[in-house]
Amino acid sequence: MTLPCIIDARRFDAGAHLPFHIGDERVGWIRENDVARLARWPDVFEIDGDAASARVTLAPRFDTVDARSAALGSVIGALAAQGHIPGWRDETYAIRNAFDAPPLAFIERAASRFFGTMTYAVHLNGVVEYADHAPQLWIARRSDTKATDPGMLDNVVAGGIGWGLGIEATLVKECWEEAGIAEDLAREARAGRIVHVLQSLPEGTQAEQIFIYDLVLPADFVPHNQDGEVGEHRLARIDEAARWIEEGAMTVDASLATLDCLLRRQWIDEDACEGIAAIFEPPTL
């Protein structure tokens, strides 16, 4: 079994980016051609191109969360208007390197990949168990109008964690919006592992921690999307889901979340997933 998702999840060339700093803390990665765009705002960004210390740093005069957020917000608005930040969401993300860390600034969700800042998401494996035959998984197909990965296969529930929401609160919210799973049932989900993704994408860098959950769904339950972000749902055999991962039909994020479920439940052999252990550890650069 070949697993392109594992390769893609760490397909990142640090040499093609400059680290983005707030103070002494690296909080993101900016592509070299995007660094040139930021040079238009010398009052907002300090750009050091020296090989030994190359970096982009938010000007130190922005020394509060509000000041940093305002400075970044004005730049982000201009870049979005020029088409350099696609898929505007009207959602607020915090810049923070750990989920429980205090925010250094707030930015529009769509800008997180331009700046390569750490983001957080939840993914839910919808499991159906039977007494008389093998278990199956509910798989979603993303809407063709989604800003990222349109039309690709995904977990039955998946969503980013916006500022002000916890992991479980986001899971409950996304369960209803994406699959019509009521809160009482959603709260029966059980945590899996956390996967760490660092990959280059057309819109920038995805640096993301994904909190994985499994939920055993009733055999007669059928997901119903509520927010228009899912095109359809499919009930899949384990071998079908594994084949979609191998063929690259499923998003990288969903592939890793699905593999975590299959491995933990021993529905596939870990020997068939060479290299996957690294995905559960933060990347080192």
* Interval 51-110: pLDDT, tens: 677 999 999 999 999 999 999 999 999 999 999 999 899 999 999 999 999 999 999 999
Q: State the fold for domain 14-115.
A: Transcription Regulator spoIIAA (3.30.750)
Q: What is the pLDDT of residues 183-206, one digit of tens each?
A: 999 999 999 999 999 999 999 999
Q: What is the pLDDT of residue 25?
A: 96
Quote the pTM value. 0.94
- Sign of the CA dihedral with 138 first, then 260, 239, and 201 last: positive
Domain 4-9+119-280, second-level architecture: Alpha-Beta Complex (3.90)
Q: Where are the domains of the chain?
A: 4-9+119-280, 14-115
Specify whether the backbone of 34 is left (phi greater than 0), alpha (psi in -120 to 50) or beta.
alpha
Q: Which amino acid is at 173?
A: K
Could you report how far apart the first and last alpha carbons of the chain are, in Å? 28
Mean pLDDT of the residues in the chain: 93
Band of residue 283 on the pLDDT scale cut at 50, 70, 90: confident
Q: What is the pLDDT of residue 2?
A: 61
Is the pLDDT reported for residue 274 higher than 80? no
